[in-house]
Chain A
Amino acid sequence: MEDQFTYAAYSNYLNEHKLMGSRDKSSGETFLPPRPVNPETHSFDMEWYEFIGKGKLQAFTVVFIAPTAMLQAGYDRKNPYCVGIVKTEEGPMISAFISGVDVNHPETIKIGMPVQVAFIDRGEGELKRSFLAFQPV
């Protein structure tokens, strides 16, 4: 196994603003997050695959009581944020921050709406990291 489908490798790609998953070399099925093993065929014969970054919003929430990491990123009851699950055009679903929506009117956020990948950079210098986000097309 030359390719290690680790979170570390995935995060490094995210920092380059690339949404990378894995693809089964024989069936062509794609996986996001990148899986080392195809759960249907149990094959280990995988390669990296860059997702085109388009999808549809499948579920979401607007979080008013933020966890510590998001509090540190500046979110709280007065500044809530949207997080959701996106179904990519390739098929797999993924959890992501949802930007560019009206968090003060969650009822305006529609399930099924087309979204495209965006990357959010947080932190400075050595601590700078990119997070996966999607925004309405």
Chain B
Amino acid sequence: MANRKLARGVALVGAGMSKFGAFKGKSSRDLFVEAYAEMLSSIDKPFDPKLIEALYVGNYSSDLFENQGHLAPIVASWTGLNPLPAVRVEDACASAGAALYQGILGIASGMYDIVMVGGVEKMTDLATEKVTDTLATAADAEFEIPAGFTFPGFYAAMATSYMAAYGATPETFMKVSIKNHYNGSMNEKAQFGAKITTLMEARKASTAKKGLPIPEWKDELEFLHDEKANPTIAWPLRLYDCSPISDGAAVVLLVSEELAKNFSDCPIYIAGIGQASDGALHDRKEINSIPSARLAGEKAYKMAGIGPKDIDFAEVHDCFTIAEVIATEDLGFYDRGKGWKAAEDGETNRESSQPINLSGGLKSKGHPVGASGVGQVVEVWKQLRGQAGERQINRKMKYGLTHNVGGTGQTCVVHIFERRD
């Protein structure tokens, strides 16, 4: 692998996001404007939006979700930024990560000094089965979908392969869900924003209200084992193993490294980037790892000149709980087959030395697919700058990593961010 460097440095000087959730009456452009406003208010020094030279927007399928194609110029218009070049980037659930990658290259190439990158998805206008069908278009429509695969189905298949190879059980995945819901309970932008125990109490209350017998669960695991409370979606994955259907947007502002201090007291620098592609799940040599994630991670580490041990925390693409376990192995935090034990033993929780998904991850925060990759970056920005509020990790942190997967790993984009001081 060639040791590639950016031709010039790039820094993050602003980041913001809308709340993630289900928002009736808000379309992609409305959500994007919300995220844009928060991004502007996050810039430390006065900033004139007229300085923005290009816009890259990650979006998976506004066409099918909202009957709206050609989204980038519309978003540019609603943020008042026409006539700048505006490009939509689509790599399924990795759309925003891929947009960020292109935005970074836009500055590194010398073409632009100041670039805005965002991601947005409006999913909740469609009925659930239509959302499922729309997401399925990210898979191979000729050789995967006719077999009967769905997205939960793909990750469930990865889970069966992983369980058979390494001994994990469905309870392993439940523990990931409990951890991410706990983290998300401290995130005011999260769709759920509630611990599993809180959701249990809510369910008891709603059952009582209906005059039905109130279920008794002794703990979260018993609740998650209850087929009524946590139905199977695609065995062995259940409802609480799946990220929700979400609306949301996230936006960041990138500038060339030499300009960073003009706009920010504490810029966050791009230390390494990596992206890779792959064929359908059945086209790979193995099913319980994502080769494109391994490769994207290796590229990003190499560019940054660091290794997995140097990463202080990571936001990984936990579209399904099994995906987080696999991600922690693909990124080199744990050896192959060891990630599930680490998850079970609490090595990925917020008290650990290398917490995973402090934001709550896609599981709790929500997964507006085309926005998620930049949503992850917003968390890294906040944590590295000490602005994550209640969920802030109170130790000196230097490197944060984001891992954004499209489909089952047909795309993966990894970014490493660095605080220098």
Interface set of A (CB-CB < 8 Å, partner B) = 7, 10, 33, 58-71, 75, 77, 80-81, 83-85, 92-97, 106, 111-112, 131-132
A61-B235, A95-B281 known; A112-B164 Cβ under 8 A: yes
B133 proximal to A (CB < 8 A): yes
CB within 8 Å for A106 and B133 given contacts A70-B148, A83-B149, A94-B143: no
Among B133, B231, B284, which residue has its beta carbon within 8 angstroms of that of A67? B133
CA distance A81 to B142 in the complex (A): 19
Bound CA span A96–B281, Å? 12
With A84-B157, A85-B282 given, is the CB distance from A95 to B144 under 8 Å? yes
Quick check: B280 and A95 within 8 Å, CB to CB? Answer: yes
Which residues from chain B contact A97 at a C-beta distance below 8 Å? 147-148
Instruction: Say whether B153 faces chain A, with CB atoms less than 8 Å apart.
Output: yes
A93–B161 touching, CB < 8 Å: no
Indicate if the CB atoms of A64 and B129 lie closer than 8 Å: no
Complex A-B: 11 CB contacts under 8 Å: A33-B142, A59-B287, A61-B237, A63-B148, A63-B150, A63-B152, A66-B148, A67-B129, A67-B132, A97-B148, A111-B164
Q: Are A95 and B143 in contact (CB under 8 A)?
A: yes
Give every chain B residue within 8 A of A95 (Cβ-Cβ). Answer: 140, 143-144, 147, 149, 280-282
Chain A proximity of B154: nearest CB distance (Å) = 8
Kindly list chain B residues whose C-beta atoms are within 8 Å of the C-beta of A58: 161, 287
Given contact pairs A83-B153, A106-B235, enumerate 7 new A-B contacts (beta carbons under 8 Å): A60-B157, A61-B234, A61-B236, A67-B150, A83-B148, A93-B282, A97-B147
Q: Does B105 contact A (CB under 8 A)?
A: no
Q: Does B136 contact A (CB under 8 A)?
A: yes
Given contacts A64-B235, A65-B234, A106-B236, whether A59 and B147 have CB atoms under 8 Å apart is: no
In the bound complex, do residue B132 and residue A65 qualify as a contact, i.e. CB atoms below 8 Å apart?
yes
Residue from the list A61, A92, A112, A131 in contact with B146, Cβ < 8 A: A131
